[in-house]
Amino acid sequence: MVDEGILREIYAVLEDRRDNPVDSYTSRLMTDDEKRAEDKILEKIGEEAAEVIIASKNNERLVEESADLIFHTLLLLVYKGIPFESLLEEFAARRK
Ligand SMILES: N=c1c2ncn([C@@H]3O[C@H](COP(=O)(O)OP(=O)(O)OP(=O)(O)O)[C@@H](O)[C@H]3O)c2ncn1[C@@H]1O[C@H](COP(=O)(O)O)[C@@H](O)[C@H]1O
């Protein structure tokens, strides 16, 4: 049984990839120096957002493409040094 704790786990892995870079997709994105890392991550978010729109319109791969978009958004937050708790607190503050 998977629960939402998986997102916190992934976040911690991404923080580790940022702080202790290894030869991996996310470390490469966060430590890129040819093109600024932030720009590359933002570009991925743009691509993934477009893929979510196409998936929704075609009624296929919506879960997969949404996961890609959420994943790259989490990657941006990690890259920017924002703690996972801040995201949770933001949602909690919006609760009605
Ligand atoms: N959840 C994910 C995850 N979701 C998506 N992706 C990657 O995001 C990319 C999505 O890009 P696209 O859909 O455009 O597919 P693509 O054409 O293969 O990608 P590009 O070559 O264009 O970058 C793919 O390379 C996926 O592998 C992810 N990569 C990693 N994770 C998690 O992040 C952790 C750290 O990852 P590594 O740094 O690779 O160890 C892993 O343990 C996983 O839990």
For the chain, domains (ranges, CATH) are: 5-94 (1.10.287.1080)
Terminal CA-CA length for the chain: 29
Distance between CA 33 and CA 85 in Å, rounded? 29
Residues at CB less than 6 angstroms from ligand 1? 10, 13, 17, 24-27, 47, 68, 71
Whose CA is closest to atom 39 on ligand 1?
Answer: 25
Whether residue 95 is predicted with pLDDT greater than 80 in this model: the reply is yes
Residue with token string 């990657």: 75
Digit-coded pLDDT (tens) for 17-28:
999 999 999 999
Confidence of residue 33 (pLDDT cuts 50, 70, 90): confident
Helix or strand run (H / E) with residue 67: helix 62-79
Question: From ligand 1's centre to the CA of 71, what distance in Å?
Answer: 8
